[in-house]
């Protein structure tokens, strides 16, 4: 009987267990996690913070399904992988041998290094335990400083705002999320944040977090100001959890390098999800994502291949539908610009290294206020798009970009100034769909 070990009970780990069970009805599966809450929706943590989702809503109804039938759930921290002996070591409870191993250890918040970072009420948002803590602290705080960029910084700011905490949002640069959004898009988001009562401090850095009896009482800025607050929340980027890889001799760049079977440089060790750096056929590079759907798909393919299958994972063009300052925003493919984002180290949650690729394409925009569309038009295909507000175009664009549909017929039209971009895209998508249906 095979023994499969999965490190991590996030979406990648759980999908792998499902896949193993679909191929091997009797093999023994060990799932190990150092998160006491097991499997739940990490993107849902933002909705928990804003009070839109009760804690029970984070845990899918089928959450216990993966524990049925020779699946052992071990709460513990894996301290070592010993590939020569085909064993893992779990802190405090000895060693476990494996026939096939999956590392689905996810990612974690990049640490903040500002003096005072270790005071109570300096928080990040990695997991359910963090979210509960933020909720608890938010009940008592009058004001908070939020530091960082990307989606998570806004989730922290908005979550605390719903708890009536006054937010001072620090941006190191002069605009929000500058390596994914263009200037107009950053301004749309900033304007909405300000409307919601969030005070943005541009070109501002925290140089010290002040404390009294272990608790935050204020933040000193690079401009010499002191902002009084009772909490500091930071989201300055994430990094894959790679602690186990070095001693195990696994090939690593920014994440664990895997081939198209999700296999590492050791044939019985696989990696999937946020921790895996996966080959992207479009750019010819191996890239990181921190996205729910790719993590799930990678985990599933890894699980199948752990049973001896040879299923190939073909990295899709990255996309995310998220909310930025309450504005629904869909990001598809390569939308990046030339600027670097000083607020994020590496990359962020709900982010993809694909987004910030600089495409060889022409950008065309349309829309006003919160309803905004930006297209990145390549030689024969659309290579990226960003849709804010009205989402009518997000599905057509997602299909046209993901399926690499030839747009030569309408390319010149799309490049004309003052053209109704939305109408051209909609008509072309409908025509493409009809043609496909007839094929």
Ligand X SMILES: Cc1cc2nc3c(=O)[nH]c(=O)nc-3n(C[C@H](O)[C@H](O)[C@H](O)COP(=O)(O)OP(=O)(O)OC[C@H]3O[C@@H](n4cnc5c(N)ncnc54)[C@H](O)[C@@H]3O)c2cc1C
Residue ranges that bind ligand X, judged by CB under 6 A:
7-13, 32-35, 42-43, 45-46, 77-78, 104-106, 125-126, 151-152, 155, 241, 244, 273-274, 290-292, 295, 320, 322, 349-350
Closest approach, Cβ 211 to ligand X, in A, equals 26
Q: Return the half-sphere exposure (C-beta side, CA atoms, 13 A cut-off) of residue 69.
A: 11
Closest distance of CB 290 from ligand X, Å: 4
Q: Which is nearer to ligand X, 46 or 216 (CB)?
A: 46
204 or 298: whose CB is closer to ligand X? 298
Which one, 98 or 429, has the nearer CB to ligand X? 98
Name the minimum Å distance from CB 386 to ligand X: 14
d(CA 432, CA 375): 18
Specify the residue, 7 or 361, whose C-beta has the smaller distance to ligand X.
Answer: 7
Q: How far is the CB of 117 from ligand X (least distance, A)?
A: 19
State the Cα–Cα distance between residues 4 and 83, nearest whole angstrom.
14
CA distance 426 to 409: 14
**Residues 291, 78, 133, CA angle at the centre, nearest 5°?**
60
Contact status, residue 209 vs residue 219, Cβ threshold 8 Å? yes
Least distance (Å) between residue 257 CB and ligand X = 16
Closest separation between CB of residue 270 and ligand X, Å? 12
Neighbours of 114 (CB within 10 A): 18
Q: Looking at beta carbons only, is 204 or 351 nearer to ligand X? A: 351
Q: Token match 């910030």: residue? A: 356
Nearest to ligand X of 7, 261 (CB atom): 7
d(CA 421, CA 307): 48
In the complex, least distance from residue 46 CB atom to ligand X, rounded to whole angstroms = 6
Cβ distance to ligand X smaller for residue 156 or 220: 156
**Shortest distance, CB of residue 128 to ligand X, whole angstroms?**
9
Closer Cβ to ligand X, 151 or 227, answer by number:
151
Q: How far is the CB of 217 from ligand X (least distance, A)?
A: 27
Measured from the CB atom, is 96 or 377 closer to ligand X? 96
Question: Residues with Cβ < 8 Å from 13, sequence gap 6 or more?
Answer: 6, 7, 31, 33, 39, 102, 104, 272, 273, 299
């Amino acid at each position: 009987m095979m023994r499969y070990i999965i490190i991590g009970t996030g979406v990648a780990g759980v999908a792998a267990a499902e896949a193993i069970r679909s191929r091997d009805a009797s093999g023994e599966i060990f799932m190990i996690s150092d998160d006491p809450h097991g499997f739940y929706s990490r993107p849902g943590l933002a909705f928990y913070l804003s009070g839109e989702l009760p804690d029970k809503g984070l845990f899918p109804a089928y959450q216990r399904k993966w524990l049925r039938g020779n699946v052992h759930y071990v709460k513990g921290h894996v301290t070592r992988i010993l590939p020569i002996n085909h064993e893992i070591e779990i802190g405090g409870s000895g060693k476990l041998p494996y026939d096939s191993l999956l590392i689905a250890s996810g990612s974690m918040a990049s640490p903040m290094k500002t003096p005072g970072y270790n005071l109570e009420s300096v928080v990040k948002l990695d997991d359910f335990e963090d979210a509960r803590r933020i909720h608890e602290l938010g009940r008592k705080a009058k004001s908070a400083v939020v530091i960082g960029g990307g989606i998570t910084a806004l989730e922290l700011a908005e979550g605390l705002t719903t708890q009536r905490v006054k937010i001072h949002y620090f941006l190191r640069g002069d605009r929000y999320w500058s390596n994914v959004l263009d200037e107009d898009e950053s301004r749309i988001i900033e304007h909405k944040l300000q409307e919601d009562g969030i005070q943005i401090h541009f070109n501002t850095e925290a140089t010290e977090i002040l404390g009294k009896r272990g608790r935050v009482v204020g933040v000193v800025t690079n401009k010499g100001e002191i902002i009084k607050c009772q909490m500091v929340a930071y989201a300055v980027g994430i990094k894959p959890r790679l602690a186990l890889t070095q001693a195990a001799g696994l090939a690593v760049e920014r994440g664990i390098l895997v081939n198209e079977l999700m296999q590492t440089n050791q044939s019985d060790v696989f990696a999937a999800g946020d921790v895996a750096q996966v080959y992207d056929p479009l750019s010819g590079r191996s890239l990181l994502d921190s996205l729910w759907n790719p993590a799930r798909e990678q985990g599933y393919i890894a699980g199948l291949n752990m049973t001896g299958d040879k299923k190939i994972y073909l990295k899709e063009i990255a996309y995310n539908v998220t909310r930025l300052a309450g504005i629904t925003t869909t990001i598809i493919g390569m939308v990046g610009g030339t600027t670097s984002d000083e607020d994020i180290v590496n990359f962020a949650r709900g982010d993809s290294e694909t987004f910030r690729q600089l495409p060889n394409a022409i950008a065309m925009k349309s829309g006003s206020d919160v309803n905004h569309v930006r297209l990145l038009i390549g030689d024969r295909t659309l290579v990226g798009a960003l849709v804010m507000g009205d989402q009518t175009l997000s599905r057509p664009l997602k299909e046209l970009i993901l399926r690499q549909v030839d747009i030569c017929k309408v390319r010149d039209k799309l490049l004309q100034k003052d053209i109704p971009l939305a109408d051209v895209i909609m008509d072309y998508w409908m025509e493409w769909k009809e043609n496909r249906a007839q094929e």
